[in-house]
Amino acid sequence: MPLFDYSLLLTGKYHDMLVAGLLLSLQLLAAALVLALPLALVVALLRLSPFAPLRWLGFAYVESIRNIPLLAHMLFWYFGAPELLPEDIKQWLYAGHIEAYSAVIALSLYTAAFMAEDIRSGIRAIPTVQFEAGRAMGFSYLATMRRVVLPQALRVTVPPLISQTLSLWKNTSIATVIGVAELMYQASQVESATFRSFESFAFASAAYLTVSLAITGLATWYHHRFPVRTI
């Protein structure tokens, strides 16, 4: 028996399974990122709202989400939340792709809680005189945020948001616990079918490393292309 069977990774149905798992992991990353970013922005604005009830709402979201392990979120959205739905809707969901939908919801909500704090920090890094200048020009609170503060704050926030994207990419692997056929799930399936543990998980490790390095490279490029300057 060869020490390393390259054919397992390069051709055949097991290769196709691993590639399909990688593609699904990338889809989970993209879907969760698209949902998490606008939600994080809304939560960050709630956290900075001049109205106390809205601030408390944003605070409750961030603290209740990020202080619960992602694994618990995954299990809740897959096993727990559907139990609150009518039986016909629940059966319809389980007949479809509820595993992937549950994973995207869990990843989006969890990531948004961390991104919201990064965005809030970026907004607070903008000098208050800029906000005051916007109000002095007759802008409302929301208009000042949209036209004056946020364009500057989001530029400052891009590096930590890229870092959160890296964490999100690695967190997609947790979706395997609810049966999402992503990369780790497929690697486990191939390992069970072939007993080639090294090859299966070497492929998964190399894939995670490659995408992680690409995201890190994006962060490095952005840092050099758009250096953050003190205002």
Among 9, 49, 36, which Cα is nearest to 118's?
A: 36
pLDDT of residue 229: 57
pLDDT in tens, 144-193: 777 777 778 888 888 899 999 999 999 999 999 999 999 999 999 998 88
Asked if residue 168 lies in contact with residue 29, where contact means CB atoms within 8 angstroms, the answer is yes
Backbone torsions φ then ψ of 140, nearest 5 degrees: -75, 175
Domains of the chain: 6-225 (1.10.3720.10)
Q: What is the mean pLDDT of the chain?
A: 87
Q: What is the C-alpha separation between 156 and 175, in angstroms, rounded?
A: 31
Q: How confident is the model at residue 31 (pLDDT cuts 50, 70, 90)?
A: very high
CA 196/CA 206 separation, integer angstroms:
16
Amino acid 4: pLDDT: 66
What average pLDDT does this structure show over 125-134? 75
| Of 163, 176, 166, the residue nearest 210 (C-alpha) | 166
For the whole model, what pTM was predicted?
Answer: 0.88
Query: Which two tokens mark 132?
Result: 């005051």
First to last CA, the chain: 63
